Amino acid sequence: MNFKYVTLFLLCSSLFTCDDRYGPTQTSPIFQENIMLEWPRINRIELSDFNWQTIYTMSGKLIPENEEVSVENFRVTWSSDMHWLMGDTSKYFRQLCRTCEMGVLWDRQDGSHDTIPYDFHSMPPVTNQVSITNADGEFSNVLAPVRSMRDRTMTLYVSVNGALVDSQSIFLME
């Protein structure tokens, strides 16, 4: 398995937040450490010939530079630009960008597409959204692309404790 290492400069401030709804606030770091993110580079996922949805499990690890630093219970969050539609196996939704509220609804049956707003009630993402690290810094995630996404490329984003760390493109092949 091909892993990519990314150095994180995590600034953990769990006691203080910066919420501009209440005006500017000052944040104070609790600690700051170098932590390596080890996660697999996935070039492609072969979609199942027998199931509408393909389940792909991946795992990774946070490795602190200093062994005395605990990475237990770190929050690893996931997002993707691809979503499937509940109740419609021929369509999928792709966001225009990572933080965009708009995207394109694609219909594989008739080839049509339309730009519409994202609806998180009816468009589940193809990735779990949160993983929590264990005492060894290990985490896992499940990707679940669907058949209508075949021959497309999805982008998977990973964040640790709220900081976007990395992304990768994954080809969803027939």
Q: In whole angstroms, what is the distance from residue 73 CA to residue 37 CA?
A: 14
Could you list the pLDDT tens digit for every one of the 174 residues in the chain? 555 555 554 444 333 334 333 333 333 233 457 888 999 999 999 999 999 999 999 999 999 988 888 999 999 999 999 999 888 888 899 999 888 889 998 888 787 888 888 887 889 999 999 999 999 999 999 999 999 999 999 999 999 988 899 999 999 998
Q: Domains in the chain, please, with CATH? A: 42-61+68-173 (2.60.40)
DSSP state, residue 86: T
pTM here is 0.79
Those residues with Cβ within 8 angstroms of residue 165's Cβ, 6 or more apart along the chain or in another chain:
6, 8, 37, 158, 159
Q: For position 51, what pLDDT does the model report?
A: 94
Q: For position 162, what pLDDT does the model report?
A: 84
Q: For position 66, what pLDDT does the model report?
A: 87
CB half-sphere exposure, 67, CA atoms < 13 A: 0
